[in-house]
């Protein structure tokens, strides 16, 4: 990084944050590093509109209480492993309507439409 003119032109505080992030990355297990690199690669291929949609959805998710965030994220991961027709049917099912609010199901629907990286470990199945 020190030899990169673009890096050297950054404010010192930004350089320090990037060094810290790189140091943290280097301490991660290889599988976690690969997962992060895959997510970064996927993000680079999203259109500006898709990036904005993803930011909006995940900003809404962060406003949920932690237990609801976990439930919604687990459901999104499980839903993404399904074919799109089945996914929409599950999101609109009476079961999901009894578990999740309309807003949460809307977030799930939006998140599952984004072309994001596949679920970690290829896991599937519903957890509650």
SS3 (DSSP) at 53? helix
Q: What is the mean pLDDT of residues 107-124?
A: 69
pLDDT of residue 92: 94
Nearest to 14 by CA among 1, 27, 30, 28: 1
pLDDT of residue 102: 95
pLDDT tens-digit series, residues 52-106? 999 999 899 999 999 999 999 999 999 988 988 899 999 999 999 999 999 999 9
Q: Within the chain, what is the greatest distance between any pair of CA atoms? A: 58
Q: How confident is the model at residue 118 (pLDDT cuts 50, 70, 90)?
A: low
- Count of other CB atoms within 10 angstroms of residue 42: 14
Contact call for residues 117 and 85 (beta carbons, < 8 A): no
The Cα 114–Cα 104 span in angstroms is: 16
**Tokens standing for 107?**
């977030």
């Amino acid at each position: 990084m020190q030899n990169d003119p673009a890096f050297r032109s950054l404010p010192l505080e930004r350089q320090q944050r990037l060094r810290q992030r790189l140091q943290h990355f280097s301490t991660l297990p290889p599988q976690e590093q690969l997962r992060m690199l895959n997510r970064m690669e996927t993000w680079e291929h999203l259109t500006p509109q898709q990036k904005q949609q993803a930011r909006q959805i995940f900003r809404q998710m962060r406003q949920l209480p932690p237990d609801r965030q976990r439930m919604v994220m687990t459901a999104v991961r499980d839903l993404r492993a399904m074919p799109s027709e089945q996914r929409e049917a599950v999101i609109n099912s009476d079961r999901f309507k009894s578990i999740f609010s309309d807003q949460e199901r809307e977030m799930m629907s939006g998140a599952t439409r984004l072309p994001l990286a596949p679920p970690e470990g290829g896991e599937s199945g519903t957890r509650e």
